[in-house]
């Protein structure tokens, strides 16, 4: 019809890259060192550099501790005029890019802390409403690991809030291990795998065996709360029962050894939290025991389970590659435990096994004979069971 035009609406599909986490960054539980347990907000770039050197000199880097994570307290109290996060100019005068470059040159991965709320737990600027801006600046600094806390979150939905930061990290283009420090309030084990690489299952650990404080608890309580969560853990997604207190003053040597053993059975991230510069040889021996670390880092990626719970005694087991098992006998009582094991009663073991004591670092026979030992209070015996061919 004359005088009338034909109008066509061209519908062009908008293609979007699916937001996701970076895959394959944590096929085994992350290992490293974090500043919080010993130093809280008393941190600066001199300390971080000294700790990097100590991790190298002590053999911890060679044992697998790759991430150095600067926890809460590195920021200025205000963002700049453009809304960017700013490191404290007195304590980090060189800036985060230079510090990250230093750590990378030393062979480490660079980790940093912030919070999903409006402020961090120590009152510094949080990430809420700034996720994409913050992710870009982290990428420009060379950040490899982000621990994201849950203070001052108001009425925010945990899953959606952490997904927003996940999407921001992915959009920034730099692969980052994403640690969800949500404290287990919203069952992150049920949804964390699609969002991050590890998720906290509880509140904060403190350096005691079985105490309970207002905001933190001893590691034995945290251990008990991991029962039943094993089905959610595996390569690239780990339950996180919080950082190690190994070597910190509230634990005995036996309790430090037991914590390290059981965190390895749990396939937990191994994030040391002690002052590496001044640790004793005994603590260094614990933290650098490569045979125990190998249990934690086993490529099968299974979290261990509580096999037996009795008064004064727990047995934890972890399935390993090639048909092997790790078995940890834990004396929870206040007196020595006289242990006697008939291996035929340990039903997970099929056939006969060679036995390796991972703390004595020696072979101690086979399962064809009963096993006897004395375990001091709050200590462990940790064995690797290798099938006899």
For the chain, domains (ranges, CATH) are 31-296 (3.20.20.70), 305-387 (2.60.40.1180)
Average pLDDT over residues 150-163: 97
Average pLDDT, whole number, for the chain? 95
Asked whether residue 249 carries a pLDDT value surpassing 70, the answer given is yes
Residue with tokens 């004591």: 357
Average pLDDT over residues 344-350: 90
User: How far apart, in Å, are the Cα atoms of 218 and each of 38, 245, 256?
Assistant: 15, 9, 12
Asked whether residue 6 carries a pLDDT value surpassing 70, the answer given is no
Nearest alpha carbon to residue 265 among 310, 313, 314: 314
Pair of tokens at residue 172: 């920034």
Average pLDDT over residues 94-121: 98
Asked whether residue 43 carries a pLDDT value surpassing 60, the answer given is yes
Tally of residues, the chain: 389
Please answer whether residues 229 and 201 qualify as being in contact, where contact means their C-beta atoms are separated by less than 8 angstroms. Answer: yes
**Tens digit of pLDDT for each residue in 14-31?**
334 467 999 999 999 999
Predicted TM-score of the model (pTM): 0.94
Between residues 106 and 3, which one has the greater pLDDT?
106
Asked whether residue 204 carries a pLDDT value surpassing 50, the answer given is yes
Asked whether residue 1 carries a pLDDT value surpassing 80, the answer given is no
> What are the backbone dihedrals phi and psi of residue 332, each rounded to the nearest 5 degrees, phi first?
-90, -5
How confident is the model at residue 2, as a pLDDT?
A: 40
Asked whether residue 314 carries a pLDDT value surpassing 90, the answer given is yes
The catalytically annotated residue of 134, 149, 236, 242 is 149
Question: For a pLDDT cut of 70, what percent of the chain falls above it?
Answer: 95
How confident is the model at residue 15, as a pLDDT?
A: 39
Average pLDDT over residues 198-205: 98
Average pLDDT over residues 209-215: 90
Average pLDDT over residues 141-162: 98
Please answer whether residues 111 and 144 qualify as being in contact, where contact means their C-beta atoms are separated by less than 8 angstroms. Answer: yes
Pair of tokens at residue 368: 């064809």
Q: Is 88 a catalytic residue?
A: no
How confident is the model at residue 214, as a pLDDT?
A: 82
To the nearest 10 degrees (0 to 180), the angle between helices 95-105 and 45-57 is 10
How confident is the model at residue 31, as a pLDDT?
A: 99
Q: Is 236 a catalytic residue?
A: no
How confident is the model at residue 18, as a pLDDT?
A: 63
Report how far residue 363's alpha carbon sits from residue 370's, in angstroms, rounded to the nearest whole number.
Answer: 15
Between residues 9 and 67, which one has the greater pLDDT?
67
Which of 247-263 are b and which e, b meaning 16 or more Cβ less than 10 Å from the residue's Cβ?
A: bbeebebbbbbbbbbbb
The catalytically annotated residue of 44, 101, 204, 357 is 204
Average pLDDT over residues 368-381: 97
Average pLDDT over residues 295-312: 97
User: How far apart, in Å, are the Cα atoms of 125 and each of 35, 36, 90, 146?
Assistant: 19, 17, 17, 15
């Amino acid at each position: 019809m004359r005088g009338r035009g034909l109008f066509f609406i061209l519908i062009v599909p908008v293609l979007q890259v699916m937001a996701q986490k970076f895959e394959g960054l944590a096929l085994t539980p992350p290992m490293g060192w974090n500043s919080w347990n010993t130093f809280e907000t008393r941190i600066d770039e001199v300390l971080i550099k000294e700790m990097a050197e100590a991790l190298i000199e002590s053999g911890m880097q060679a044992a697998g501790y790759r991430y150095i994570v600067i926890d809460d307290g590195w920021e200025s109290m205000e963002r700049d005029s453009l809304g960017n996060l700013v490191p404290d100019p007195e304590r980090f005068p060189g800036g985060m890019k230079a510090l990250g470059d230093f750590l990378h040159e030393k062979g480490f991965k660079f980790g940093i802390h912030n919070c999903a709320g409006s402020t961090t737990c120590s009152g510094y600027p949080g990430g809420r409403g700034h996720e994409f801006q913050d992710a870009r600046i982290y990428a420009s600094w060379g950040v490899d690991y982000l621990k994201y806390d849950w203070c001052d979150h108001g009425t925010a939905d945990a899953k959606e809030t952490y997904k927003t930061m996940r999407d921001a990290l992915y959009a920034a283009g730099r692969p980052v291990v994403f640690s969800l420090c949500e404290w287990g309030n919203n069952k992150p084990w049920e949804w964390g795998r699609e969002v991050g690489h590890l998720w906290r299952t509880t509140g904060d650990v403190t350096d005691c065996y079985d105490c309970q404080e207002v905001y933190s608890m001893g590691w034995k309580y945290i251990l008990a709360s991991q029962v039943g969560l094993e089905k959610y853990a595996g390569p690239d997604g780990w339950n996180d029962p919080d950082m190690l207190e190994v070597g910190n003053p509230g634990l005995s040597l036996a309790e430090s050894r037991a914590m390290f053993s059981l965190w390895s059975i749990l396939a937990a991230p191994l994030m040391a939290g002690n002052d590496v510069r001044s640790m004793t040889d005994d603590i260094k021996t614990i933290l650098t025991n490569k045979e125990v670390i190998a249990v934690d880092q086993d490529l099968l990626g299974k979290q261990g389970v509580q096999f037996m719970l009795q008064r004064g005694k727990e047995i934890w087991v972890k399935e390993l590659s090639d048909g092997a098992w790790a078995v940890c006998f834990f004396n929870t009582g206040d007196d020595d435990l006289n242990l006697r094991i008939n291996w035929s009663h340990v039903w997970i073991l099929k056939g006969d096994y060679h036995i390796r004591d991972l703390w004595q670092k020696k072979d101690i026979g086979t399962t064809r004979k009963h096993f006897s030992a004395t375990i001091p209070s709050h200590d462990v015996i940790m064995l690797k069971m290798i099938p006899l061919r």
